[in-house]
Amino acid sequence: MKWQKGVTLTELLIALVLGILLLGGVLGVFLSNQTTSRTTEDLSNLQDRIRLAFQVMSYDLRSAGFLGCNNSERVISVVQVAGALPVWLNWQGGLVGTAADAANNESMRIMYAAGQSASINTHVPPRMNLNQDTNLSVGDLGVICDDTLTSIFQVSAVGNNWAEHAAAGLNCSADLGFANPFICATARPRVYPADAMLMRFETVRWFVAASEVDNTLNSLFREIVVNGAVVQEEVLFGVERLSFAYQMRNAAFGPVPFSAALDMTQVTGVNVTILLDAAAYSNITMANDTRTIEFFTTVRNR
């Protein structure tokens, strides 16, 4: 009888061990590549979010103080909340900085005219007859200006080629004239001439607060006003600190920190510094210097 030669138990065990070692090596390489790919994707997504945040903030800063008529000194607002000018309409040239809070974070309020403009044909208060339809809606903040005055109001009504600023909603008066000191009940009749400009008014605040995703960590927020109500948008998750420095007009280059004595109307550029929170990005290896992101933007309307 002829016996077939088989595999011994020792040979089988050796083959199994070698197979396991080979499989372990392949699995290790696969897991390492998967981790690297995930880290690269997370880093790419973070860079995209940072880039978007900086683009939006840079746009706001470049637009600060723009009113459409080269007139940012004589500005009045008839918008009142609880009988007083709301903090989000404290003009001060369209750029308002603040001191650092207890967590060493600063914030900034930026104001400007934006969107499609429409020229005035005739102004018979409270109605403005326009040369085209406006993209403003009832409740929006509007700004009308000529070369001598700028008035901020809440749109009370709109129609085909017209808009109104009646004493309704947040408007304490339909009179858009200038007075110093401003007393809303005092008559200030003002008729804007033909070719005066109507635009939407933006008031934006950038600040750091607890994230809506994880309140144990902070995020960068952009605050806007919609129909007279403050709305906050979470822009960048995992921000530990936000600070600003200000380049002053007719001064050698060197942005300075905020102080109460700083004349914000003389700011011509803003240096923004954001420190990312390492705890928010534990799967991404970041040295301390790479967590700090900095950029400088010129304020164009000064």
| pLDDT, tens digit, 9 for 90 and up, residues 215-226 | 999 999 999 999
| 253, 257, 263, 268: CA torsion to nearest 10 | 40
- Coil, helix or strand for 244? strand
Q: What is the pLDDT of residue 69?
A: 87
Return d(Cα 126, Cα 198) in angstroms, integer: 13
Range with lowest mean pLDDT among 6-15, 134-143, 162-171, 182-191: 6-15
Return d(Cα 109, Cα 98) in angstroms, integer: 9
| 40, 46, 48, 52: CA torsion to nearest 10 | 180
Q: What is the pLDDT of residue 44?
A: 66
Return d(Cα 302, Cα 64) in angstroms, integer: 9
Cis peptide before 126 (omega within 30 of 0): yes
With cut-offs at 50, 70 and 90, classify the pLDDT of residue 242.
Answer: very high
pTM for the full predicted model: 0.85
Q: Which of 212, 272, 203, 259 is nearest to 238 (CA)?
A: 212
Q: Is the pLDDT of residue 27 over 80?
A: no
Range with lowest mean pLDDT among 133-142, 175-184, 241-250, 273-282: 273-282
Q: Is the pLDDT of residue 99 over 70?
A: yes
User: What is the arithmetic mean of pLDDT over 157-163?
Assistant: 96
The values of phi and psi at residue 32, to 5°, are -65, -45
Q: How many helices (H) and strands (E) does the chain have?
A: 1, 15
Answer for the pair 151, 176: CB distance below 8 angstroms, yes or no: yes
Between 39 and 219, whose confidence is greater? Answer: 219
Return d(Cα 38, Cα 262) in angstroms, integer: 46
Place of tokens 């007139």: 71
Return d(Cα 63, Cα 65) in angstroms, integer: 6
Q: What is the pLDDT of residue 134?
A: 92
The values of phi and psi at residue 42, to 5°, are -65, -40
With cut-offs at 50, 70 and 90, classify the pLDDT of residue 192.
Answer: very high
Q: What is the pLDDT of residue 7?
A: 62
Q: What is the pLDDT of residue 43?
A: 61
Between 93 and 8, whose confidence is greater? Answer: 93
Q: Which of 75, 115, 50 is nearest to 281 (CA)?
A: 50
With cut-offs at 50, 70 and 90, classify the pLDDT of residue 301.
Answer: confident
With cut-offs at 50, 70 and 90, classify the pLDDT of residue 45.
Answer: confident
Beta bridge pairs of residue 146: none
154, with CB counted inside 10 A (0-12, 13-18, 19+), is buried
Other beta carbons within 10 Å of 6 = 8
Q: What is the pLDDT of residue 6?
A: 61
Q: Which of 172, 169, 197, 176 is nearest to 185 (CA)?
A: 172
Return d(Cα 103, Cα 28) in angstroms, integer: 43
With cut-offs at 50, 70 and 90, classify the pLDDT of residue 290.
Answer: confident
Q: Judging by DSSP bridges, how do beta strands 197-210 and 141-145 pair with one another?
A: antiparallel
Burial string for 39-53 (b: 16+ CB within 10 Å, else e) reads: eeeeeeebeeebeeb
Instruction: Please name the amino acid found at residue 178.
Output: F
What residues contact 267, with CB distance under 8 A and at least 6 apart?
Answer: 95, 246, 247, 248, 249, 299, 302
User: What is the arithmetic mean of pLDDT over 134-151?
Assistant: 95
Average pLDDT, the chain: 89
Rounded to the nearest 5 degrees, what angle is found at the Cα of 295, between the Cα atoms of 300 and 226?
Answer: 60
Q: What is the pLDDT of residue 297?
A: 96
CA end-to-end span of the chain? 106
Range with lowest mean pLDDT among 15-19, 113-117, 137-141: 15-19
Q: Is the pLDDT of residue 64 over 60?
A: yes
